[in-house]
Amino acid sequence: MDQDFLIQEHKQIESQKAARQFLNQKQRKPLWREYLETAVIAVVAALLLRLFVVSAYRVNSGSMADSLLEGDYIFVNKLAYEYGGKTPQLGDIIVFKYPNNPDKDFIKRVVALPGQTVQIADKVMYVDGQVAPVPEGTKFTDQKVLPGDLSFRDNFGPFTIPSGEYFVLGDNRDDSRDSRFWGTVPSANILGKAVFVYWSWQPDKDVPGWGFPYVIDAIQWIGYGLYNFPSHTRWDRIGTAL
């Protein structure tokens, strides 16, 4: 009797194990499907980050040298001024839509805030009558001082900044088109605050062209990139905080 009971209990246990294995096999997804779902989640997460949190930009001019160099690739925090009443502060490097052509994105440094009065006299900048600090990385490349009736580059103002707008300059003060020439930046045009350089590539005039039918150009690009990657990457700039 005891032996029959043990045999019956053993059969019951084996039956339960078989049922569990069957359910596990039935519920287990194919490996390709798991990879596909993971890839889809990663792509969606990246798109959401790109749309709402951070954007990547390439610096296409030397107007912000030496803080930013042509060929720098930067991350921009799109939420920096979105919540908690946060607004751009003096010294922030911002990306914004160019007021005269919103299809173009510019990058400059905030040097004066709404309500402040700006004046530049012989290259020296004054804010509310006080000499403004010169941000690290700012440079002057032309010793000549241009009179105000010839150019606003070295002599400008005084000018009081309207409410909700910002006065921006390039750190390369003698080679930058900025608020001295085309006016202030409305807060509605600001896209975000530059955070850091995530990659930097030394510009090269010998870079291959790109045109139809693209196949040959694509091969040339791949070869060019593989060959020049170590020497043209500015390794010392990667991770530079802004």
Tens of pLDDT, residues 43-96? 555 555 555 568 999 999 999 999 999 999 999 999 999 877 899 999 999 999
For 4-56, the pLDDT digits (tens) are: 544 455 455 556 565 566 555 555 667 666 656 665 665 555 555 555 568 99
Residue 139 lies in a domain: yes
Query: Tokens 């580059």 appear where?
Result: 153
Mean pLDDT over each residue of the chain, to the nearest integer: 85
What CATH number is associated with residue 177?
Answer: 2.10.109.10
| Residue among 17, 78, 104, 108 flagged as catalytic | 108
Examine the residue annotation and report whether 97 is marked as an active-site residue of this protein. no
* d(C-alpha 213, C-alpha 217), whole Å: 8
Quick one: 196 and 78 in the same domain?
yes
Quick one: 80 and 39 in the same domain?
no
Examine the residue annotation and report whether 15 is marked as an active-site residue of this protein. no
Residue 115 lies in a domain: yes
Quick one: 66 and 150 in the same domain?
yes
* d(C-alpha 41, C-alpha 34), whole Å: 11
Residue 95 lies in a domain: yes
- Per the structure, the complete domain to which residue 222 belongs is given by 202-237
Quick one: 70 and 168 in the same domain?
yes
Q: Are 94 and 108 in contact (CB under 8 A)?
A: yes
Quick one: 129 and 59 in the same domain?
yes
Task: Decide the pairing of beta strands 130-131 and 117-121.
Answer: unpaired
Q: Does residue 106 surpass a pLDDT of 60?
A: yes
| Residue among 17, 26, 61, 63 flagged as catalytic | 63
Q: What is the pLDDT of residue 100?
A: 97
- Tokens standing for residue 183: 């006016």
Q: What is the pLDDT of residue 83?
A: 78
Number of domains in the chain: 3
Quick one: 158 and 223 in the same domain?
no
Query: Considering the entire predicted model, what is its pTM?
Result: 0.77
How far from each other are the two terminal CA atoms of the chain, in whole angstroms? 83
Query: Tokens 């009065």 appear where?
Result: 117
Quick one: 140 and 158 in the same domain?
yes
HEC per residue, the chain: CHHHHHHHHHHHHHHHHHHHHHHHHHHCCCHHHHHHHHHHHHHHHHHHHHHHCEEEEECCCCCCCCCCCCCEEEEEECCCCCCCCCCCCCCCEEEEECCCCCCCEEEEEEEECCCCEEEEECCEEEECCEECCCCCCCECCCCCCCCCCCCCCCCEEEEECCCCEEEEECCEHHHCCCHHHHCCEEHHHEEEEEEEEEEEECCCCCCCCCCCCCHHHHHHHHHHHHHHHHHHECHHHCCCEC
Residue 242 lies in a domain: no
